[in-house]
Chains A and B, each alone.
Chain A
Amino acid sequence: MIEQIFFIIFAALAIISALGVISLRNPVHAALSLIVCFFQIACLFVLLRSPFLAVVQVFIYVGAVMVLFLFVVMILDIKKVSLGVLVTRRSKYIYFFLVGLAIELIVVLTGGFQKLILDTPGEEVKIEVIGRVLFTEFLFPFELVSILLLVAMVGAIIMIKDAEKEGAK
């Protein structure tokens, strides 16, 4: 019962802040709103008995990704950045599409898993177990992802360097 109350609180805050992300004009306000949303999602991970994911969410998303976003917004001189207006030309079709997709997803996903309510609450997953699975069963994807991170890092650096060189010319 108390879990459900907390779920409703976190979910409502997450949805409100997510709406803020797409409706606020100023990119800095949108980024701060997204940070609030990520914190709520971390709380939901705690409700799902996965504290490791909650910690990773806060560290990587809030600590790295959103700081990167704010940094870029700061670099890009916000006054020049067009404070994007909502598209009005096709928005009727867009809303139609969104409502249709939402109904379809909810019907399909909830229809299939209606009976999936376990009586016994799941156990909290220990970090050691995750580490063991990550380094045995998922070793190859793990290595692939590390190579991908390296490639992304090199690519980002090279792109910024080229931009600086052409800007100097």
Chain B
Amino acid sequence: MIPVTWFIVLSVVLFMIGVAGVLLRRNLIIMLMSVELMLNAVNINFAAFAYYLQDLRGQVFVVFTITLAAAEVAVALGILIALVKNRSVTNADELDSLKG
């Protein structure tokens, strides 16, 4: 039997790696991948608690999260392609046209 704390620690570590990726890397594609990593860390937590509490709702939530992640990736990659086509920008620091 795996203690539930192992799953929590694993998901915290994966979430932290995702946050580090978003904060440290400036490549937009890598930043999007890091967001996916964070969503997956949350999914592990949901599934772990669904198992340890014998509650089905955690698993249903994971299904919704995966759907949202798919929609998010579709829109984000659409924005990315539009950005690269129009302004040939893939570095997040170069996107400052909304700056006052």
Contact = CB atoms under 8 A, between A and B. Distances in A.
Interface of A: 3-4, 7, 11, 14-15, 18-19, 21-22, 27, 30-31, 34, 37-38, 41, 44-45, 47-50, 52-53, 56-57, 60-61, 64-65, 68-69, 72-73, 75-76, 80-87, 91, 94, 97-98, 101-102, 105-106, 109-110, 113-114, 116-119, 121-123, 125, 129-130, 133-134, 137-138, 141, 145, 148-149, 151-153, 155-157, 159-160, 162-164, 166-167
A80 B27 CA distance: 12
Interface string B56-82: 110110111011111111110111111
Given A22-B34, A91-B24, A133-B57, 7 more contacts: A44-B44, A49-B51, A61-B36, A84-B25, A117-B3, A162-B82, A166-B85
A89 B59 CA distance: 41
Interface residues of B, number: 71
A87 to B, nearest CB: 6
Would you call the interface of chain B mostly helix, strand, loop, or mixed? Answer: helix
Nearest to B66: A60
Contacts of B97: none
Contacts of B40: 37-38, 41, 61
B9 interface: yes
A109 to B, nearest CB: 5
Contacts of B48: 48
Contact of A72 (B19, B25, B50, B81): B81
B29 A73 contact: yes
B63 A53 contact: yes
B70 A18 contact: no
